[in-house]
Amino acid sequence: MKASLFFLFLLTSLGACSQQPAYQNVDNKKFTELMKQSDAVVLDVRTPQEFQGGHIPNALLIDYNSGYFAEQVEKLDRDKTYLVYCATGGRSPRAAQIMTDKGFKHVYNLEQGISRWNGDVVK
């Protein structure tokens, strides 16, 4: 009986853990600190039109809504650190989750996107 209860507890605990996102949400300050890492890649998941309107310096654009996002992400180096953002924080968490589901271990999502970004913007 005790073994059965322990097994049930273990399964419940593992199930709860799997529902947590594997990426981390970060604020402007942490995002800026992470940008200084030599392996950091800033990833903009907005549309090309949004990107042209202004983006974080040195950002790589992969449009989340393109229909090819998951395919494009497959080509990236999984060992690098990815700093993901969108316009207001709607698309980037979904993009970050896709990345972590594909085995990326160091993925950070900018909370509230570029709309709340207080760093440099390239236009």
Active-site pick, 40, 86, 95, 114: 86
Catalytic residue check, 17: no
d(CA 81, CA 101): 15
Contacts of 70 (CB under 8 A, 6+ apart): 98, 102
The dihedrals phi and psi of 99, each to the nearest 5 degrees, come to -65, -45
Both tokens assigned to 55:
């983006």
Q: Give 45's Cβ-side CA count (13 Å radius).
A: 29
The β-bridge partners of 107 are 82
- Selection from 66, 65, 58, 117 nearest residue 87 by Cα: 117
For the annotated catalytic residues, the residue numbers are 86
